[in-house]
Structure 1
């Protein structure tokens, strides 16, 4: 993903955590913060060392990024999203990750009309 589509700074993460709304399922927690005047969404990823070694954590992040890249047209713009992976996410394949993330997105009501 391009740099302007990512959340990297600690204070940006903190703002989303403190001011945003959270929705969760077994595999992921999604924080959503609406941002005025932002023409696209941004995502931040948090994958703890408890989930596994660096290879496992990077694999999870790569799968999450791929899902958001594929579904970028269906997601609402002008928001910051922070995704926290939980322990069960380490054992999922791509289709399961996609299904789980879309489930969380539907719960958060951030998919455009045709996708809900």
Structure 2
């Protein structure tokens, strides 16, 4: 995913927060079964080196987990948190699989604790 409207659409979709990241899933209705991935880490998390390391970990994680557990025809967005930098690989794998399973049970617009702006 490269365009801002895609990320904004995913933000309105299903949301599954985990200790190292927040997973957003938006089911597309364009008839394309391809899974797309978007990765973002806010500037509040470390410097550029730290943010890029987290993004590299997420890309490798997505390559490993999404083909098996991802939603066909959906956009998946991982929003990195600082805990993702030091978390064990096995812990991140478990959390992503758990977040994908959790996102299947959440209604779109999901478990927001505060109202939309």
Q: Corresponding residue for 2:26?
A: 33
C-alpha RMSD over aligned residues: 1.7
Residue 95 of structure 1 and its aligned partner are, at CA, apart by 2.7
Q: Unaligned regions of 5+ residues in structure 1, if any?
A: 1-6, 111-116
Q: Corresponding residue for 1:51?
A: 45
Q: C-alpha deviations, 1:29-71, integer Å up to 9, x for none?
A: 1111111311211011110122211121111111111111122
- TM-score, normalising length from structure 2? 0.77
- TM-score, normalising length from structure 1? 0.78
- Give the length in aligned residue pairs: 103
Q: Which has the higher contact order (CA 8 A, sep 6+)?
A: 2
Q: Corresponding residue for 1:17?
A: 11
Residue 27 of structure 1 and its aligned partner are, at CA, apart by 1.5
2:54, 2:85 within 8 Å by CA — same for their partners in 1?
Answer: yes
Which contiguous aligned blocks of 4+ residues in structure 1 show a shift greater than 6 angstroms?
none
Which has more helix, going by share of residues? Answer: 1
